[in-house]
A = this chain, B = another copy of it.
Amino acid sequence: MNQDQPIILITNDDGITAPGIRNLVEAVKDLGHVVVVAPDSPQSGMGHAITIGEVLRLHKVAVMEGVECWQTSGTPADCVKLARDKVLHRKPTICLSGINHGANNSINILYSGTMSAAMEAAIEGIPSVGFSLLDYSYDADFTLARKVVRTITKQLLKVQMPEHTLFNVNIPKGEEKDFKGIKFCRQAHAKWQEEFDERTDPRGEKYYWMTGKFLNLDEGSDTDVAALKDGFASIVPVKFDLTDYKMKLRLEVEWKGMSI
C-alpha cells in the first residue's frame, strides 16, 4: 500500500454480497486504498442501531478480487466502529456507504442503515457519503450510479472539507442520456403512511407486515424529492446536531419560569 494514497472505507446496509457495494467498490477502487467492512447479512431499516446486548463477530473474507474485505455480524454503524478500531487502527480518509438498493431521500435518512453508517463515520471526524439508487431490484443497472459516485468521491478527495462533512446522495433510476446533473438540495418534508397488512398464522394468531405509502408534504423546488423527480441526482449535506434553535429561543421566552 502506497502511504500517500487516501484510505477509502466502504460499507453498506444491504450486506457484503449485495450488488450495490460491489458497484461502489468498482467505481472508486483506483482512487485510493479501498477497505470494505460490511454486514454479513441485509440490515435495511436498521436506522442508527448499534449492537450492545450481543457479541460481535468480524471475519476477513475473499469476495472481491484484489480488495481487502471484512464481514461483521453487526449493524452498519457497528461496521464503521469496528473498521476504525479493529481493521484500520486509524481513521480512513473518507467513508462511503452504499450503493443502497432503493431511495434514502427525505425523512428516509432517519430509517436508513446506509446513512447511519455514513453518519457514524462523520461523528468520528471522517468525511462521509451515503449513496442510494432509486431502484430496489437486485439486478438494478448501476452504470449511471457508478459515474455519479466517482464524480462526487473525486471531488471529496480533491477539496479539503470539514471533518464532519456528511452527504446524503440519491441517484435516479435510468440511463445517462436522461440524466440532468447533480443538484444540492434540502431534505424534503414527508412522512410514511403506514398500512399494516394483517394476516393470521397457521395457529390462528394475528400478525402484521409493515407496508406503507410515501407521502411528500413539501412543494419546494429545492428538495431532494423534487430534484430526483426532475431527473437529477440529489446531494443533501447533513448535520447531526439535531437542536431546533428557533424552538429553543421560543421556549426560553414562553416557557420561562417553569419549575417542578
Binding site for B on A (CB under 8 A): 42, 44-53, 55-58, 77-78, 81-82, 84-86, 107, 109-111, 116, 119, 123-125, 144, 147-148, 150-152, 155, 159, 165-166, 176, 179, 181-182, 184-187, 189, 191, 194-196, 198-199, 205-210, 235-245, 247-248, 251-252, 254-255, 258-260
Which listed residue (B45, B50, B78, B251) contacts A237, Cβ 8 A?
A: B251
On whether the beta carbons of A123 and B191 are closer than 8 Å, the reply is yes
Give the interface SS of chain A, mostly helix, strand, loop or mixed. Answer: mixed
In the bound complex, how far is the Cα of B58 from the Cα of A207, in angstroms?
7
Chain B residues with CB under 8 A of A55: 199, 207-209
Residue of B nearest to A250 (CB): B237
Chain B residues with CB under 8 A of A176: 260
On whether the beta carbons of B44 and A46 are closer than 8 Å, the reply is no
Are A47 and B48 also in contact (CB < 8 A) when A123-B191, A255-B155 are? yes
On whether the beta carbons of B207 and A57 are closer than 8 Å, the reply is yes
Chain B residues with CB under 8 A of A107: 123, 240
